[in-house]
Each structure stands twice: as C-alpha cells, then as structure tokens.
Amino acid sequence: MNFVVVLTTLERTGNVSGLDGFYFMSTPYELLYIVAATYTDEELSQIESKVKALLEKQTAVIDSITRLGKFRFAYPINKARHGHYIQVRFSVEPQAVPRIEAALRITSEVLRGLLLRLEEVGGDKFDLIQFTEVNVENREPRDDRARRRPTGEHPAKKFKPSEALKSVVIPELSAEELEKKIDAALSEEKA
C-alpha cells in the first residue's frame, strides 16, 4: 500500500523516470563546464551536443542549456587564458553522477567541470564580469622596470665604495713584521 502511494506522489511531481517497469527517483543537478575560447561558435555547438549526448546516455533529462559567456581565467588552464562557460540543468538518478563526472574528465574539449545538486547551487543570479577583448596592436609599450621600482633612487646607487674605504685604516706592514705576527698567532693556537 505504501509503495503505491509513493509512486503516485512521484508520478504527480514528474520526478520519476521509468525503465522497463522499474522506477527510479531522479534528482535535479546543475553542470557548469568550461571550454577553451579557441573554439568557434560552430565547434562550441558541437561540443555542447557532445556533452548533451553524454548526459542523455546516462538517462538524464535535460531542462536547459545556457551559454554564460566568455571569461578570462584567474590562471592558465592547459595553456588557455579564456574560456566559454556553459551551464546545463538536468535531472538524473544519483547513481549516474559518478559515471557522468568520469565521462566529463576524459572529454578533451572540457577544461573544467563542476556538477552540483540544484539545491546546492543557490539560485539563478550570477555576478560574473564579462570578458573584454584587448587590442594588442595599438598598445603603447610600457616600462615594467619603472613600475616595479619604488620612487626615489636605487639603493645600489647610494653606496659609494670610496667613502667606505676611507673610514677603514689598514696599517702597512713589512714582510718581517707580517711573519712575526703570523708566528705569534700560530704559537698561541698550539698553546
């Protein structure tokens, strides 16, 4: 009796996928993955369809696919500095999640991917800064050394060796006096 009530409730909410008479409860997930910015829009569409097919192979029901834009990375990933961020929302049974993550890791076009339950995501609001193209040809050359150096004169230029040597007085010794001092020092060590 309880089994029928649970199935009826799940069927009403649309949270059930049927497979040969067996019912599995599906969970909503969000996948955010990054593709290098070197791909064209046509190639990006092919990669999206490849990831979509990968998800559907694991019996995922895709709700939406959204391109969030092209952004600069904080650090290079596989020698890439920019990437297209793509968000996919789908529902799938929890047992399929490790298989999806493993398949994403071996997909060469996907630089990084993050798969979370939809309840962990925190909403639809994004605070991302859009990438702006930099025109390298019209840039003026800049002096990086001047930017790194603090204002004022360099410390090495302040040091004048001639002034330092004037304060040190070295007495001149003859060869005989030098030998006497060496012998005295050696004889003190033996004693």
Would you say residue 36 lies in a domain?
yes
Would you say residue 183 lies in a domain?
no
Would you say residue 64 lies in a domain?
yes
Predicted local confidence at residue 6, as pLDDT? 40
Cα–Cα distance for residue pair 16/167, rounded to 1 Å: 91
Q: What integer is the mean pLDDT of 15-19? A: 49
Residues in contact with 188: Cβ distance below 8 Å, sequence separation at least 6, in sequence order = none
Predicted local confidence at residue 36, as pLDDT? 93
Helix pair angle (41-57, 97-105), 10° resolution = 150
Would you say residue 117 lies in a domain?
yes
Number of domains in the chain: 1
Report the candidate in 75, 60, 68 with the shortest Cα–Cα distance to residue 24: 60
Q: What integer is the mean pLDDT of 133-160? A: 61
Q: Whole-prediction pTM value?
A: 0.56
Q: In Å, what is the CA distance from 9 to each residue of 1, 23, 29, 119?
A: 13, 12, 21, 20
Would you say residue 97 lies in a domain?
yes
CATH number for the domain spanning 61: value is 3.30.70.60
Predicted local confidence at residue 43, as pLDDT? 94
37 or 132, which is more confident = 37
Domain of residue 85 covers: 26-121
Predicted local confidence at residue 26, as pLDDT? 86
Strands of the chain, DSSP E: 16-19, 22-25, 27-36, 61-77, 80-92, 110-117
30 or 11, which is more confident = 30
**In this structure, how many other beta carbons lie within 10 angstroms of the beta carbon of residue 83?**
24
40 or 164, which is more confident = 40
Whether the CB-CB separation of 117 and 29 falls below 8 Å is answered with yes
Cα–Cα distance for residue pair 121/136, rounded to 1 Å: 37
Would you say residue 93 lies in a domain?
yes
Would you say residue 15 lies in a domain?
no
Split at pLDDT 50, 70, 90, the class of 56 is very high
Share of the chain above pLDDT 90, in %: 40
133 or 28, which is more confident = 28
